[in-house]
Structure 1
Amino acid sequence: MARRTDGGWPDGPRSLPPRRRRRTRRAFPAVALGAMAVGVAGCLVLLPAVSNACQTVPDATDASANRTASAIARGSDVLIVGDSYTTGRGSYDGTHGWAQDLVAERGWDATIDGVPGTGYVNTGATKSTRWNYLSRIERSESIDPALVIVQGSQNDWLVSADTLERRVEQTLRTAKRQWPDAVVVAIGPSAPQPLARTTTGISDAVAAGARAAGVTYVDALAGRWFTTTNSARYAAPDGQHLNDAGYLYLAGRIDDALEALATPRTREQCA
């Protein structure tokens, strides 16, 4: 169940349009599989016999991946702090964004703290430092999340890169200190094009601050989540936010990023 701190509970299921369904892996065509089987069989004939005794397996000792896998499991307590993208501005009702989609998909017990116009430094229309990310994280100290996601910062375009980097580091260090057993992840600016091109400096500053705090940074710009090709169908009419399809897509990309963090590194195991 998602709890909101921005004005009430989400609408009930009957008021929502069809949302995201679990993605399934696409199967290879039968012809391709047959060709692959022949090719693999041919390769095995050429390999030394000793290779049959070795295989690549997940590294069960990858503590970081194991902690993340536990933190993103169904039913986990999750805190999401963000801006208007977390609130859902641009969606069908203006209050249903990527966070609500991802929480429903994952079955998390989540607190969704989205305030439009805010960031690590920016206070939005409130003009009060009580509403930047640091202050809101400090006020959430009483909860006990297994996963903390801090989204955004594209509203921090009026501050210098050095100021933003320092505030990001301070904010994420505070989250780690308050919840030493939690997995903390920072999601960078994820605007559609052409707005995305203007957030490069912001993304770099947030990445540097996250790195200094020892927090994983998910870089939507480097990953080219929003391109000149797909942005038209994902952008809201204002060009600043996402529409329903865009938030659904963003939820899926963040979901994929979390799954990747929860996948153990592999190692070669030989008999």
Structure 2
Amino acid sequence: MALAQYSELFWFPSGALASSVVARVFQHETNTLATLYADGAGTTPLANPLSTSGTGRLEFWVEEGRYWVHIDSEAFEIAVGAAAQAATQQDILDEITRADATYATILVVNNLTGTVTTLSGQVTSLDGFVADALARVSAIEQGTAFLAGLNVDGDAQIANGDLTITNFVRGYRFRTGGAANDVEGTGGDLIISVWSGTGFNGTQHSYFRLSADAQNLQVAGKVEFVDALYGATRHVLDGAANTVGLYGATPVTRQTVTGSRADGTALTDLIDKLTDTGIVADGTSAGIANAWLRRDLPDPLIADSLHTGTAPSISTAQTTTPTAGYIKYAPAGVALTGTDVTGPFSYMGAGNFAIGAGAPDTNYVLPLSKYPNTYASGQGIWSVEFGTDAQIIQVRMKYISAATMFRLSIDGRKVTDLMQSSGGTTPGSGHLISIDFGSATPRRIRLDFSTFPFGGVYIPPTATLWGVPAQGGRLMVLGDSISDGSSQNTGAGAGTWFARAARFLGTTDAWEQGRGGTGYITAGSFATFATRLAADVVAWAPDRLIVWGGYNDSSGDQGAIATAAAALYASIRAGLPSCQTYVIGCWSPTGSPGAGVTNTDTTLRTAAAAAGFPFISPVTGSCYDAAGALVTTHGAWITAANAAAYVGGDAIHPTDAGHVYLSRRITAAVRALMPA
């Protein structure tokens, strides 16, 4: 058997290549399909019918000879190999007739010449492939059959119906037949996700899960609520990070509220945490955690009363050698030797205690909490408290001058009304003040100091010494020489109205932070209030603050005073948001104050009201609340009738009696402004 290859291109009448068209190859003058091969050796049979290639080429191997090729309703006689011989026109017509009789039944043919251009009448039978195609199209239209696949290049539209995608177990549909446009799922949860790639590949990000078995929606990842698509983010719920941020706040994790409900710190922290999440905007004012209340103040009849027990015996000796066997309770920072111990002293009225740089000052402490905040010229007014059951105590001091003074109080009652001399002799030398109480019994001891370097306390070895807490919170005054004292009164700052008013107001930790000659715009020999505020006041966090100044500014520009006062009060608000602050106006040492005094008083009252601080006027005795509303008027503090009794020979500063009087007037005014 000699095989030869047939390979030709076929075209449609339109000129297009007849690609992938079914062809049948028959033995010449028979209806028997020829045996075809894919190779010249005849080892690989080829199906018959077969199809043209994608480029319209019909190609096969067959025995040499003549054959008929039927393709697209056309018949072609071909010769393959050496036996090739052209077919006559009659041969072609005969082959068409034979093929039609074998593969189709044509009842009526109106016009069939060459290419069929017209086919009319009733078609009762067609080629099986065409019939099958028609049957499938009909089934699809009737909804009883399905396309195995579908690719659409361009827009697709489904009119007057719903789009359902299903495998008959699970599915979803886009439905327009209801009252709204619905996206529905069936047979399982509905997941909405997006792939990062361009062909449903890459990373799949799943965002929504709609449960099939319950009305439940799950959202995965971060949800941003925006003002418009791709616009500014307003709220964030981040499930992956477990954070929340509302109204533009940075998302935060679940917040833990700390603090105490009793003192208000828990509420403050709650507001802070809610603000962090963005749920609220904090527009609250700080408020006072432990506000002064009139009902909590001590009885004024006994608050400033004298000790009524047996008067102690007090003597001073220029020595640093205690009674033999006594134990030294040294201030913290002083070096210990032998049986010395560090005493559990409660320092009040000052802070930042330090020893001096060299001997003998390394044995003594002084506070550095008042301008200019140095050991030698810092704060001279302060107190120490402790408890002891000793009958005799020996207090070590370094004598400076006649200004080195002290006042002893026993169980809250002062032994002397005014500061008393320390009894020192040689300036710069160490001394021991021996105090004999007459019996060994537990007592609370307080020592108020003025220019008094403190070296500790010695007690008998059989006695004990313990610490005691301060009472009534921390009260502070930021002021001038009316608070800091002058030559017109005893004991400098320890002998002014402030220490006595502190006792009336139930405060043992009273900080006198006045400096003579200073004010809102006047520095004097020291610094203005604003300059001193941070280090002398804010750093020590008072619970209550009285600001009293203005007299040294009264000859200055009222605009400058107003600006300085507003700035000072704002700094107090910012630095001490929970501090209960009172402002006292301009001091007037006469019954006929000048315009500078009255104008300064008015300027300060206006600034205090703007800052939300209560105000007390020495000029009129009027008391104004934090809103600037008049609460009460007690009358001018200094009048023509009492000036001689209360103002010293310099016609400015109060005397000892004047300070007693002022402590009563100021206490009455503060009490009037307190909540009941």
Report if TM-score (shorter chain) is over 0.5: yes
> Paired residue for 1:123, among 507, 518, 523?
523
AA matched with 1:186: V
> Paired residue for 1:152, among 520, 541, 549?
549
> Paired residue for 1:107, among 507, 528, 531?
507
AA matched with 2:564: R
Distance 2:659 2:500 in 1: 8
Q: CA deviation at 1:195?
A: 6.6
Deviation string 1:20-63 (CA, Å, 9 cap, x unpaired) is xxxxxxxxxxxxxxxxxxxxxxxxxxxxxxxxxxxxxxxxxxxx
> Paired residue for 1:206, among 562, 581, 604?
604
Q: CA deviation at 1:178?
A: 0.7
Contact 1:195–1:239 (8 Å) recurs in 2: no
| Mapping of residues 148-227 of structure 1, within 5 Å | 148-194=545-591, 196-198=593-595, 199-223=597-621, 224-227=636-639
Q: Which runs of 5+ in 1 are unaligned?
A: 20-72, 265-271
Distance 2:556 2:574 in 1: 26
The aligned counterpart of 2:417 is 18
Distance 1:197 1:245 in 2: 24
**3-state DSSP class of the match of 2:538?**
coil
Contact 1:190–1:225 (8 Å) recurs in 2: no
AA matched with 1:146: D
AA matched with 1:2: G
Distance 1:235 1:207 in 2: 24
Q: CA deviation at 1:240?
A: 0.8
> Paired residue for 1:137, among 533, 544, 553?
533
> Paired residue for 1:8, among 374, 377, 380?
380
Distance 1:91 1:171 in 2: 29
The aligned counterpart of 1:241 is 653
Contact 1:190–1:226 (8 Å) recurs in 2: no
TM-score with structure 2 setting the length = 0.29
Distance 2:661 2:554 in 1: 25
The aligned counterpart of 1:261 is 673
Q: Where in structure 1 do 4 or more consecutive aligned residues deviate above 6 Å?
A: none
Deviation string 1:212-246 (CA, Å, 9 cap, x unpaired) is 21211111111111111111100111111100011
Deviation string 1:179-234 (CA, Å, 9 cap, x unpaired) is 11111111112332157345111111111111221211111111111111111100
Q: CA deviation at 1:155?
A: 0.3
> Alpha carbons of 1:243 and 1:182: their partners in 2 closer, same or farther (altered >3 Å)?
same
> Alpha carbons of 1:207 and 1:118: their partners in 2 closer, same or farther (altered >3 Å)?
same
> Alpha carbons of 1:158 and 1:151: their partners in 2 closer, same or farther (altered >3 Å)?
same
Q: CA deviation at 1:141?
A: 2.5
Rg larger for: 2
Contact 1:91–1:243 (8 Å) recurs in 2: yes
Distance 1:94 1:142 in 2: 24
Tell me how large the CA RMSD over aligned residues is: 2.3
The aligned counterpart of 1:54 is none
Distance 1:185 1:108 in 2: 18
The aligned counterpart of 2:122 is none
TM-score with structure 1 setting the length = 0.70
The aligned counterpart of 2:177 is none
> Paired residue for 2:489, among 74, 91, 94?
91
Contact 2:590–2:643 (8 Å) recurs in 1: yes
The percent of aligned pairs where both chains have the same amino acid is 25
> Alpha carbons of 1:154 and 1:195: their partners in 2 closer, same or farther (altered >3 Å)?
farther
Contact 2:517–2:552 (8 Å) recurs in 1: yes
Contact 1:193–1:227 (8 Å) recurs in 2: yes
**3-state DSSP class of the match of 1:155?**
helix
> Alpha carbons of 1:195 and 1:132: their partners in 2 closer, same or farther (altered >3 Å)?
farther
Q: CA deviation at 1:81?
A: 0.4
Distance 2:566 2:415 in 1: 37
Distance 1:121 1:111 in 2: 22
Distance 2:654 2:482 in 1: 8
Q: CA deviation at 1:132?
A: 0.7
Q: CA deviation at 1:17?
A: 5.0
Distance 2:583 2:507 in 1: 20
Distance 2:670 2:620 in 1: 16
Contact 2:475–2:507 (8 Å) recurs in 1: no
AA matched with 2:657: A
Distance 2:656 2:553 in 1: 24
Distance 2:525 2:530 in 1: 17
Distance 2:538 2:611 in 1: 18
Q: CA deviation at 1:160?
A: 1.1
> Alpha carbons of 1:248 and 1:16: their partners in 2 closer, same or farther (altered >3 Å)?
farther
Distance 1:195 1:94 in 2: 27
Contact 2:592–2:639 (8 Å) recurs in 1: no
User: Which gives a bigger RCO, structure 1 or 2 (Cα 8 Å, sep 6+)?
Assistant: 1
Q: Which runs of 5+ in 2 are unaligned?
A: 1-347, 351-368, 371-377, 383-404, 409-413, 419-469, 622-635
Distance 2:674 2:554 in 1: 32
Distance 2:643 2:415 in 1: 23
Contact 2:519–2:549 (8 Å) recurs in 1: yes
> Alpha carbons of 1:195 and 1:133: their partners in 2 closer, same or farther (altered >3 Å)?
farther
Distance 1:9 1:76 in 2: 18
| Mapping of residues 43-82 of structure 1, within 5 Å | 74-82=471-479
Distance 1:16 1:91 in 2: 19
Distance 2:547 2:584 in 1: 6
> Alpha carbons of 1:190 and 1:74: their partners in 2 closer, same or farther (altered >3 Å)?
farther
AA matched with 2:589: P
